[in-house]
């Protein structure tokens, strides 16, 4: 880890003193870290160093450092993304959406854009949160899907957030979402009868979208996969359930 810290520091053009000041260490202490004379670093210090250097957070290498030290990964909403990445394009011709651990919509591919039909600039700050857009009365997706499907999504979210219940970011996010949708977090869960269980309840629901120029609704079932080395990110992609939807996906790629 020490060699990699030095590599990223030098790549940024920083002196040892500058990085040491960023993370409240002396230059001598940082030198000992970089030359592996310090056998154990705290989780907070590893994250501080990675955040100061930025690149280890963006490419996920900070989580390799944490895993190697026996710590849980670094997970927060709205962490910085690489300028270019292949995570979404590899799912073409399927629509795909990039969500982070806070369920903020971070990006989507061309096919997903054809279904959402919303400008990217409209999703900034808390407005980029999928829960806000589903449950706020003026949300972009409000009223689009059934209560059964919404319950399924909320239950999946509660299970996904369970390991981070004590993290400050989660409490802040729940409070912000509650204020935005005009309903407390516990009331939202109670309204949709969400109870933490061992597994996500099954649902026979499908997601239905309307697309420009298509006389019939497009029908999909979703699946989510993690992004390697970025446990804060998942890609949700959508499988077509009929010939009309499959042809639409292919046509979107060819156009």
What is the per-residue DSSP string for 105-149? Answer: EEEE-HHHHHHH---GGG--GGGGBHHHHHHSTT-TTTTSS-HHH
If asked whether residues 145 and 242 sit together in one domain, one would say: yes
Verify cis geometry, omega within 30 degrees of 0, for the bond prior to 86. Answer: no
Distance separating alpha carbons of residues 240 and 209, to the nearest angstrom = 11
| Host domain of residue 96 | 89-254
Strand segments, DSSP code E, in the chain are 96-100, 105-108, 207-209, 218-227, 230-240
Say whether pLDDT at 152 is over 90: no
Residue 118 is predicted with a pLDDT of 80
- Cβ neighbors of 120 (< 8 A, separation 6 or more) are none
pLDDT in tens, 88-135: 888 989 999 999 999 999 999 989 988 887 887 888 999 999 999 999
Say whether pLDDT at 143 is over 90: no
DSSP state of 13: T
Long-range contacts made by residues 8-13, C-beta under 8 angstroms, separation at least 24? 8/53, 8/55, 8/56, 9/34, 9/53, 11/55, 12/53, 12/54, 12/55
Largest distance between two CA atoms of the chain: 69
Distance separating alpha carbons of residues 57 and 18, to the nearest angstrom = 19
If asked whether residues 144 and 20 sit together in one domain, one would say: no
If asked whether residues 150 and 64 sit together in one domain, one would say: no
Residue 121 is predicted with a pLDDT of 81
Number of domains in the chain: 2
If asked whether residues 58 and 113 sit together in one domain, one would say: no
- Give the domain CATH number at 174: 3.30.450.180
Mean pLDDT of the chain: 90
Between the alpha carbon of residue 159 and those of residues 60, 113, 169, 182, the distances in Å are 23, 28, 16, 23
Say whether pLDDT at 174 is over 70: yes
Of 68, 97, 116, the residue that ends a domain is 68
If asked whether residues 145 and 249 sit together in one domain, one would say: yes
The model's pTM is 0.89
If asked whether residues 174 and 238 sit together in one domain, one would say: yes
With respect to residue 82, please indicate whether it lies within any of the assigned structural domains.
no
The pLDDT confidence band at residue 200, using thresholds 50, 70 and 90, is low
Comparing CA positions, the residue from 75, 63, 73 lying closest to residue 1 is: 63
Of 68, 99, 118, the residue that ends a domain is 68
If asked whether residues 54 and 100 sit together in one domain, one would say: no
Of 18, 34, 68, the residue that ends a domain is 68
Residue 205 is predicted with a pLDDT of 59
- Give the domain CATH number at 62: 1.10.260.40
């Amino acid at each position: 880890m020490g060699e990699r810290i030095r590599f990223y520091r030098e790549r940024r053009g920083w002196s040892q003193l500058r990085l040491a000041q960023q993370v409240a260490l002396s230059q001598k202490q940082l030198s000992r870290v970089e030359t592996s004379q310090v056998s154990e670093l705290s989780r907070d210090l590893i994250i501080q160093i990675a955040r100061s250097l930025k690149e280890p957070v963006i490419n996920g290498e900070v989580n390799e450092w944490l895993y190697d030290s026996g710590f849980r990964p670094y997970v927060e909403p709205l962490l910085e993304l690489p300028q270019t990445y292949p995570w979404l394009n590899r799912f073409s011709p399927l629509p795909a959406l990039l969500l982070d651990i806070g369920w903020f919509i971070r990006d989507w591919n061309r096919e997903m854009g054809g279904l959402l039909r919303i400008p990217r600039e409209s999703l900034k700050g808390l407005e980029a949160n999928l829960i806000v857009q589903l449950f706020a009365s003026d949300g972009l997706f409000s009223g689009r899907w059934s209560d059964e499907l919404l319950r399924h999504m909320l239950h999946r979210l509660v299970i996904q957030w369970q390991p981070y219940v004590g993290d400050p970011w989660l409490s802040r996010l729940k409070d912000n979402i509650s204020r935005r949708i005009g309903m407390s977090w516990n009331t939202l869960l109670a309204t949709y009868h969400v109870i933490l269980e061992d597994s996500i309840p099954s649902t026979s629901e499908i997601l239905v979208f309307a697309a420009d120029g298509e006389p019939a609704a497009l029908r999909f079932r979703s699946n989510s996969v993690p992004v390697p080395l970025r446990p804060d990110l998942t890609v949700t992609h959508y499988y077509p359930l009929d010939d009309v939807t499959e042809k639409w996906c292919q046509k979107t790629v060819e156009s």
